Structure 1
Amino acid sequence: MTDYKTLIDAETWAFIEKTNSYYPPDTIDYTITQQRAIYDRMCREFFAGYPQGVTAETTAVAAPTSSISIRIYRNAIPDGAAMVLYIHGGGFILGGLDSHDDVCAELCARTGFEVVSLNYRLAPEHLHPAAFDDAMDAFEWAAKTYDCPVLLCGDSAGGNLCAAVAHATRGHAKKPAGQVLIYPGLGGDHSKGSYVTHAEAPMLTVRDLDFYKHVRTGGVDMTGDITLYPLADAEFANLPPTVLITAQCDPLSSDGEAYRDRIVAAGGRATWFEEPGLVHGYLRARHMVGRARTSFTRIVEAVSALGHGDWIW
């Protein structure tokens, strides 16, 4: 059994306990409506505000399948080298423009890039591939709207959607310039690695993952669908430069390693960082946990470097 008392430091435990006080570990046993209310309240409790000089505009993009709400973050001193399409986490059933509002604002402030946050459709009201379709439509809109390179960045479920978009658009005239995937779920092998070692990790368990998958798919077996499981793809060539950042104490961590290895084996550029002692969802801990603060700086530096066309790893 994994000894989390040794792996996880006191600051991170304080974050876990604060999270659990708003979002108990058994929340997946509640109704979807209740889960969303609990999650939204938790996000409000962790909201850190906007850095000085950042403004945001909420608008919508007309897409073939739906009208997609987005929020555009702009810096008073802009760096127009690139723009970032940010796709939020939440197990494909939770979250929206407000859940990751301050994260996007801080990413904008620290990179100078314009950041567009996507409010994709959620399950179970909208089963797969609705969220993927929205992510694709948002990327196509960004590629047409912006004259600069478009970067993909997302956490957890959002990281999954970013990777799926990267695979689907690698043959396009204007494909993503890079992707930064933060503790993404990419459809890895549940019989080994972190899926076994950290099956009962604080903040996210394999049971949680199975629940989210069931809700997203409506219980239909979609094995081999690369828009759902990017690691199921048979071809990893021509993907954009990729930075993967995972938490050590997270069943999804091995997906970062596996995805990096597949890209590198195909001749591409990818690097993977496993953050020691951190847990799933640690982006919310970036102002109270030293390790999370350091990791968020790593994320900012990765986005900035890829946006300027640099590969520094």
Structure 2
Amino acid sequence: MASESSVLAHGLGLTVLPRTRSGGVVLYLHGDRSLAGDPEAGLGLAEDLAARTGFEVFCARYRPAFPAALHDVRAAYGHCRTRGQVALAGRLEGAGLAAALLLSLRDEGAPPPHCAVLLSGLLDLRLTAQSLLLNGATDPSFDLQDLRGRARAYAGDAAPTDPLLSPLLGNLHGLPPVQLQTAGTDPLLDDSLAFAGRAARSGVDVHLRVRSSAADLRSGMIGSAAAFLTSWAPAASD
């Protein structure tokens, strides 16, 4: 989608501007299984999302350590607020950071994003879910021991039960509408299922989409996210 957008560098990350902007900003937190916050790696997804929504998409850069990563995405959120109405999206560890940011903003009494999308979210850094073992065993690219080592390094001295590391364990009351996307074969399936259940019991408007395979998730992920983000976008006069 590069021909339909332009990319601007910023100290906090990269901004993707769609050719035709319809208003609104998405703060996108890219992640991978190495728990790295490299915005360049997320540009393809961000450009696709910008083209489908007409929203400006800001890919935040964050340090691969807690709590520095959360401080970085909080600063990126403040930057996005100067650009317009903000929605939030994240993938893998980025989705975990997005959920932690929601909790942090609520506890601060700060204005929240109008909605959030969590894509195959790493939402529980205890890494004890059954799907990590059952689904991970069928995914040759997934190494649970490596992920656990990276998670320990990322957490540092913080306990993995800290809700800002494992937002699944936090108080989920008062969050904006959330879409969670995962696949039945996803090693992180249980994180999304458990978060959706706890959020729903807390009165959050939850939209859960479980696709049959990782390939189906990849092919439909951006279309579903774009539809959700645009459906919750405030009117231009708001």
Q: TM-score, normalised by structure 2?
A: 0.89
In the alignment of these two chains, the number of paired residues is 233
Match of 1:78 in 2: 21
Larger radius of gyration: 1
Q: 1:216 to 1:113 in 2, by over 3 A?
A: same
Any unmatched runs of 5+ in structure 1? 1-48, 61-68, 279-288
| Counterpart Cα distance in 1 of 2:37 and 2:127 | 25
> How do 1:147-186 and structure 2 match up within 5 A?
148-171=84-107, 172-186=109-123
CA distance in 1, matches of 2:25, 2:92: 20
Map of 1:223 onto structure 2: 160
User: Following TM superposition, by how much is the alpha carbon of 1:196 offset from its aligned partner in structure 2, in angstroms?
Assistant: 3.3
Partner amino acid, structure 2, of 1:133: H
Q: Which amino acid aligns with 1:181?
A: L
Q: Is 1:113 matched with 2:49?
A: no
Tell me how far 1:93 sits from its aligned partner.
Answer: 4.3
SS in 2 for 1:98: helix
Q: Determine the structure 1 residue equivalent to 2:232.
A: 306
Whether the aligned pair in 2 keeps the contact of 1:92 and 1:216 (CA below 8 Å) is no
Deviations 1:269-302 (A, max 9, x none): 1121122121xxxxxxxxxx56632233112212
Contact 1:205 1:251 in 2 (8 A): no
Runs of 4+ residues over 3 Å off in structure 1? 91-95, 188-193
Residue 103 (structure 1) shift? 1.1
Identify the residue that residue 55 of structure 1 maps to in structure 2: 6
Deviations 1:113-145 (A, max 9, x none): 0100101112xxxx31111111112112322x1
Alignment-derived partner of residue 199 in structure 2: 263
1:237 to 161, 173, 177: 173
Deviations 1:203-223 (A, max 9, x none): 3242232122122124x4613
CA distance in 1, matches of 2:203, 2:37: 35
Q: Is the contact between residue 206 and residue 251 of structure 1 (CA under 8 Å) also seen in structure 2? A: no
Following the alignment from structure 2 to structure 1, what is the Cα–Cα distance between the partners of residues 186 and 217? Answer: 15
Tell me, yes or no, if the aligned pair for 1:179 and 1:241 is still in contact at 8 Å: yes
Which residue, 127, 140, 147 being the options, matches 2:78?
A: 140
Give the whole-Å Cα distance in 2 for the aligned partners of 1:187 and 1:300.
25
> Using the alignment, how far apart are the partners of 1:136 and 1:291 within structure 2?
28
Tell me the C-alpha RMSD between the 2 structures.
2.1
Q: TM-score, normalised by structure 1?
A: 0.69
Task: Give the Cα–Cα distance (whole angstroms) in 2 for the partners of residues 191 and 228 of structure 1.
Answer: 14
Partner of 1:254: 190
Q: 1:271 to 1:255 in 2, by over 3 A?
A: same
Identity of aligned residues (%): 24
Instruction: Identify if the C-alpha distance between structure 1 residues 55 and 78 changes in structure 2 by more than 3 Å, giving closer, same or farther.
Output: same
Where structure 2 has 5 or more consecutive residues not aligned to the other structure, the ranges are: none
d(CA) in 2 for partners of 1:186 and 1:118?
19
Asked if the contact 1:201/1:251 (under 8 Å) is kept, the reply is no
